[in-house]
Chains A and B, each alone.
Chain A
Amino acid sequence: MELSKAVNSSTTIKKEKKYSPLRELLKNWKKQKNALWASLFILLLITVAIIGPFIAPYDPYKPDYNAMLQGPGIDHIAGTDEYGRDIFSRLLFGARISLTVSFLSVFLGAIGGTILGLLSGYFGGWLDRLIMRSSDVMFAFPDILLAIAIVAILGPGLTNVVIAVSIFSIPSFARLVRSSTLEAKETVFVEAAKSMGASHFRIMFQHILPETLGSLIVFISMRIGTAILAASSLSFLGLGASPETPDWGAMLSLGRDYLGTSTHVVMMPGIAIFLTVLAFNIVGDGLRDVLDPKTKNE
Chain B
Amino acid sequence: MSKTLLKVTGLKKSFSIPAGMFEKKKLLKAVHDVSFMIPEGKTFSLVGESGCGKSTTGRLISRLIEPGDGEIWLDGEEISQKKEAQLKGMRKKVQMIFQDPYASLNPRMKVRDIVAEPLTIHTNLSRAERYKQVSEILEVVGLSDYHANRYAHEFSGGQRQRIGIARALIMKPKLIIADEPVSALDVSIQAQILNLLKELQAEFDLTYLFISHDLSVVEHISDHIGVMYLGTIVESGPKEVIFSNPQHPYTKALLSSIPIPDPKLRRERIILQGDLPSPVNPPAGCRFHTRCPVAMDICKGTEPPVKPGETAGHFVSCHLVE
10 extra interchain contacts, Cβ-Cβ under 8 A, other than A192-B105, A196-B117, A202-B121? A187-B103, A188-B104, A189-B106, A192-B96, A196-B167, A197-B87, A197-B91, A197-B118, A197-B121, A197-B122
Which partner residue on chain A sits nearest B177 by CB separation?
A195
Instruction: Decide if B98 touches A188 in the complex (CB within 8 Å).
Output: yes
Q: Which residues of B contact A207 (CB under 8 A)?
A: 106
Question: Cα distance A196–B100 when bound, in Å?
Answer: 17
* A–B complex contacts, Cβ < 8 Å, 22 sampled: A19-B150, A187-B103, A191-B104, A192-B104, A192-B105, A192-B167, A193-B117, A194-B64, A195-B64, A195-B94, A195-B95, A195-B96, A196-B91, A196-B95, A196-B121, A196-B167, A197-B87, A197-B88, A197-B118, A197-B121, A199-B121, A211-B108
Indicate if A124 sits at the interface (CB-CB under 8 A): no
Question: Cα distance A202–B103 when bound, in Å?
Answer: 18
Q: Which residues of B contact A50 (CB under 8 A)?
A: none
Indicate if A130 sits at the interface (CB-CB under 8 A): no
Partner of A189, one of B92, B105, B150, B154: B105
Indicate if A210 sits at the interface (CB-CB under 8 A): yes
B302: min CB distance to chain A, Å = 38
Instruction: Decide if A191 touches B98 in the complex (CB within 8 Å).
Output: yes
A202-241: CB near B (< 8 Å → 1, else 0) gives 1000010011000000000000000000000000000000
Indicate if B62 sits at the interface (CB-CB under 8 A): yes
Q: Which residues of A contact B117 (CB under 8 A)?
A: 193, 196, 198
Instruction: Decide if A188 touches B103 in the complex (CB within 8 Å).
Output: yes
Instruction: Decide if B154 touches A19 in the complex (CB within 8 Å).
Output: yes
Q: Which of B87, B92, B94, B106 has the most CB of A within 10 A?
A: B106
Instruction: Decide if B62 touches A189 in the complex (CB within 8 Å).
Output: no
- Identify the 7 closest CB pairs spanning chains A and B, nearest first: A197-B91, A188-B103, A188-B104, A189-B106, A195-B96, A210-B108, A196-B118
Instruction: Decide if B64 touches A191 in the complex (CB within 8 Å).
Output: yes
Which partner residue on chain B sits nearest A195 by CB separation?
B96
A217: min CB distance to chain B, Å = 14
* A residues apposed to B, CB below 8 Å: 19, 21, 187-189, 191-199, 202, 207, 210-211
Instruction: Decide if B121 touches A192 in the complex (CB within 8 Å).
Output: no
Indicate if B151 sits at the interface (CB-CB under 8 A): yes
Q: Which residues of B contact A191 (CB under 8 A)?
A: 64, 98, 104
B155-172: CB near A (< 8 Å → 1, else 0) gives 000000000100100000
Q: Which residues of B contact A196 (CB under 8 A)?
A: 91, 95, 117-118, 121, 167
Q: Which of A189, A194, A210 has the most CB of B within 10 A?
A: A189
Which partner residue on chain A sits nearest B114 by CB separation?
A189
Q: Which residues of B contact A192 (CB under 8 A)?
A: 96, 98, 104-105, 164, 167
Question: Cα distance A202–B120 when bound, in Å?
Answer: 10
Question: Cα distance A198–B91 when bound, in Å?
Answer: 9
Question: Cα distance A254–B87 when bound, in Å?
Answer: 66
Question: Cα distance A210–B87 when bound, in Å?
Answer: 27
Instruction: Decide if A19 touches B64 in the complex (CB within 8 Å).
Output: no
Question: Cα distance A166–B95 when bound, in Å?
Answer: 43
Question: Cα distance A137–B94 when bound, in Å?
Answer: 45
Question: Cα distance A197–B154 when bound, in Å?
Answer: 27
Instruction: Decide if B92 touches A197 in the complex (CB within 8 Å).
Output: yes
Which partner residue on chain B sits nearest A21 by CB separation?
B108
Q: Which residues of B contact A210 (CB under 8 A)?
A: 106, 108
Which partner residue on chain A sits nearest B90 by CB separation?
A197
Which partner residue on chain A sits nearest B62 by CB separation?
A195
Q: Which residues of A contact B151 (CB under 8 A)?
A: 19
Question: Cα distance A129–B256 when bound, in Å?
Answer: 52
* Interface members, chain B 65-111 (any A CB < 8 Å): 87-88, 91-92, 94-96, 98, 100, 103-108
Q: Which of B87, B105, B117, B167 has the most CB of A within 10 A?
A: B117
Q: Which residues of B contact A21 (CB under 8 A)?
A: 108
Q: Which residues of A contact B121 (CB under 8 A)?
A: 196-199, 202
B109-149: CB near A (< 8 Å → 1, else 0) gives 00000000110011000000000000000000000000000
Q: Which residues of B contact A198 (CB under 8 A)?
A: 117, 121
Question: Cα distance A193–B96 when bound, in Å?
Answer: 10
Q: Which residues of A contact B62 (CB under 8 A)?
A: 195
Question: Cα distance A193–B88 when bound, in Å?
Answer: 13
A219: min CB distance to chain B, Å = 19
Question: Cα distance A198–B96 when bound, in Å?
Answer: 13
Q: Which residues of A contact B167 (CB under 8 A)?
A: 192, 196
Q: Which residues of B contact A202 (CB under 8 A)?
A: 121
Q: Which residues of B contact A197 (CB under 8 A)?
A: 87-88, 91-92, 118, 121-122
Question: Cα distance A194–B93 when bound, in Å?
Answer: 14
Question: Cα distance A196–B113 when bound, in Å?
Answer: 14
Q: Which residues of B contact A189 (CB under 8 A)?
A: 103-107
Q: Which residues of A contact B92 (CB under 8 A)?
A: 197
Q: Which residues of A contact B96 (CB under 8 A)?
A: 192, 195
Question: Cα distance A21–B150 when bound, in Å?
Answer: 11
B113: min CB distance to chain A, Å = 9
Which partner residue on chain A sits nearest B149 by CB separation?
A18
Question: Cα distance A210–B107 when bound, in Å?
Answer: 10
Which partner residue on chain B sits nearest A194 by CB separation?
B64
Question: Cα distance A211–B150 when bound, in Å?
Answer: 18
Which partner residue on chain B sits nearest A190 by CB separation?
B106
Which partner residue on chain B sits nearest A211 by CB separation?
B108
Q: Which residues of B contact A188 (CB under 8 A)?
A: 98, 100, 103-104
